[in-house]
Amino acid sequence: MVNLALAWAERYGAEHPEARLSVTGGGSGTGIAAMINGTASIANASRAIKAEEKQQAEANGLQPVEFVVARDAIAVIVNPANPVARLTIAQLSDIYSGKITNWREAGGQDRPIVLLSRESNSGTHVYFLEQVVRQGRKDDHTLFAPETLLLPSSEGISAEIRQNPNAIGYDGLGYVTPDVKVIAVAGNPAGPFFLPTIETVTKKEYPIARDLYMYTPGQPTGAVKDYLDWIIGPEAQGIVKELGFVPIR
């Protein structure tokens, strides 16, 4: 999410030279801790605030206010020639951890599966690892199979998917091009299966999606309020789309 926060701050700073913004990375926990300690005016987080964090903030006399500023959905994509149209999270986990290596075992043709992923330091990779490969289990230490191809760009992934019927990949919904096939995903083995769209993501039906938050230590005022108003406005939400996330409206 740090890319998004940086892009916002950069554009806002260019338009409002009087506003002084600085963005620091480090993860959701770092941001919320900084807000609790009073060193940050806004905490960006890709997860909701935890109960104990809320208690800490209240102990410091703060009432954190939550804003959903964007949504992040990950689309699973294959070559249009691949007959597989739907997969469960458990199947995706088996595929990406290397337990299933042939499309036949996932209801497809007799072809080897070629795994594509973004580099391990991208937020998308980490989210996919936690939510899909480890199926959201904290104590699970499953990793991507060593055979996974780590491609440096979204373009690299879609280029390979476009021409290779063996390949499976994932990427932010905003990066998906029309010449690849998007897989419908179900959280439970029984279904229902959902395709990622702005609608299913907003309704929280599509399972590989999350809200992105900003927290302020109390009801925002002054410059912080101006900034947050701008964030949910059309221009900032346009940046959300450019970076491959789902805008909130």
Partner 1 sequence: MTPRNLREVVIESLVRAAGYSAVVFVGLIFFFLLREGLPGFAEVSLPALFGSRWYPTEGHYGLLPLIGGSLVVTLGAAAIAVPFGLATAIFISEIAPRWAREILKPLVEILGGLPSVVLGFLGVLVLAPFMRVLLNLPTGLTAFTGSVLLAGMAIPTLVSVAEDALDAVPRNYRDAAVALGASEWQTIWRVTLPAARSGVLTAVMLGIGRAIGETMTVMMVTGNAARLPTTPNSLFLPIRTMTATIAAEMGEVANGSTHYHVLFVIGIVLFVISFIVNLAAGAVVFRRPKRAERVLS
Q: Which residues of the shown chain bind partner 1 in the complex (CB under 8 A)?
A: 26, 111-112, 114, 119-122, 126, 141, 143-144, 146-152, 156, 159-160, 163-164, 166-167
Closer Cβ to partner 1, 145 or 198, answer by number: 145
Give the C-alpha separation, 88 to 71, whole Å: 21
Are 74 and 176 a contacting pair, CB within 8 Å?
Answer: no
What separation in angstroms does the CA of 107 have from each of 67, 84, 132, 189, 230? 41, 6, 19, 14, 47
Nearest approach in angstroms of CB 177 to partner 1 is: 14
Cβ proximity to partner 1, 86 vs 111, nearer residue: 111
Minimum distance from residue 115 beta carbon to partner 1 (Å): 8
Cα(233)–Cα(249) distance, rounded to whole angstroms?
Answer: 9
Q: Which residue, 12 or 103, has its beta carbon nearer to partner 1?
A: 103
Shortest spacing between CB 163 and partner 1, in angstroms: 4
CA distance 144 to 134: 9
The nearest distance, CB 98 to partner 1, in angstroms, is 10
Which residue, 150 or 224, has its beta carbon nearer to partner 1?
150
CA-to-CA distance for 137 and 87, rounded, in angstroms? Answer: 19
CB of 166 to partner 1, least distance (A): 5
Q: For partner 1, which is the closer residue by CB, 46 or 166?
A: 166
Give me the helix-helix angle, 51-59 and 28-36, nearest 10°.
20
Contact of 188 with 200, CB cutoff 8 Å: no
